[in-house]
Structure 1
């Protein structure tokens, strides 16, 4: 019986070793972001340094900091062909999300959160949107307004199909006042209305 056990252990030993080495945890050391498939150097358990190809979801890419943690798999059990399945960084991960919420974030504090009732964008220094055209629709579900806190600088014309108002009055009110106003005449009475109205 003992001989059978030793024979079994001898035969299965290499298999078990390969199974144990299939998936490992590691700490990120370096990133090569110049490759078509990002390369990462990780320090595996026991301090073993190794390079791995990093697989990311289509349409999303990131350049993580050294010190992030990785889950690395050995394809076919071969340590010469490692792939990084996931890399996370507990130092910067956004916490306290509600169930079902999704977020993108970085170490500086730039955040996009898909919340339950809105999409929240927070830029630490500057938010820039570049597009040939841009269309914003504010529905009347709430107040139908687009609110801007701060000054607005426009390099071009402002074309409004509705009235433009501020805290005092509106453009239409200015037109009405101008087009209907008159002055005291030099010889008494009043002058007529302007001969050119404000359109």
Structure 2
């Protein structure tokens, strides 16, 4: 009797698909085509991402696939890895990056941004704004104290 029950349980469990690793065959930010075990192809598998983050997952990336209710046809992707560009962070760091080499890297010594920065709105700083030559405060000091020959310094300091 116990042997019969064990066989029935094993048969039932054999019909339940467990989580597996797949590879992206066609990238997207919402629905992916992927290959799974033994080169099986799964079309339009939903990619679940964190609120506030949206990534286009490139071809060749590895992913974790969870078949909901054990059914391959109801699979979702919950994690991805192995894209062509990968940034290794140190303990305590976080990096948001894309496949073009742009990144926002939160490090112990501050935030590092790689690539051009476009801002739609005001930029305010509580510290100095510095370029390759000097800070804006140093430029103001130079301008405010400059004169041409015997002329006075600027009547409206910066």
Task: State the TM bucket, normalised to the shorter chain.
Answer: 0.7 to 0.9
CA-CA distance at 1:129 after TM superposition: 1.9
In the alignment, what sits opposite 1:50? 42
Give the conservation status (yes or no) of the 8 Å contact 2:19–2:64: yes
Aligned length: 153
In the alignment, what sits opposite 2:145? 172
CA-CA distance at 1:32 after TM superposition: 4.2
Q: 2:76 aligns with which of 83, 94, 101?
A: 83
Relative to structure 1, is the Cα distance of residues 32 and 94 closer, same or farther in structure 2, using a 3 angstrom cutoff? Answer: closer
Give the conservation status (yes or no) of the 8 Å contact 2:58–2:83: no
Structure 1 moving runs of 4+ over 6 Å: 160-163
- Alignment of 1:147 onto 2:123: no
CA-CA distance at 1:40 after TM superposition: 0.8
CA-CA distance at 1:73 after TM superposition: 0.4
- Alignment of 1:59 onto 2:56: no
CA-CA distance at 1:175 after TM superposition: 8.3
Deviates most, 48-57 or 7-16 = 7-16
* Larger relative contact order (Cα-Cα within 8 Å, sequence gap ≥ 6): 2
Cα-to-partner distance string for 1:108-129 (whole Å, 9 max, x where unaligned): 3212110011100111xxx132
State the alpha-carbon separation in 2 of the partners of residues 137 and 45 from structure 1.
54
Relative to structure 1, is the Cα distance of residues 58 and 177 closer, same or farther in structure 2, using a 3 angstrom cutoff? Answer: farther
In the alignment, what sits opposite 1:101? 93
State the alpha-carbon separation in 1 of the partners of residues 137 and 84 from structure 2.
49
Superposed counterparts of 1:106-117, under 5 Å: 106-117=98-109
- Alignment of 1:133 onto 2:126: no
CA-CA distance at 1:102 after TM superposition: 0.3
Secondary structure of 1:98's partner?
A: coil
State the alpha-carbon separation in 2 of the partners of residues 88 and 82 from structure 1.
18
* Structure 1 residues without counterparts, runs of 5 or longer: 139-144, 151-159, 181-196
Cα RMSD after superposing both structures: 2.8
Give the greater-gyration-radius structure (CA): 1
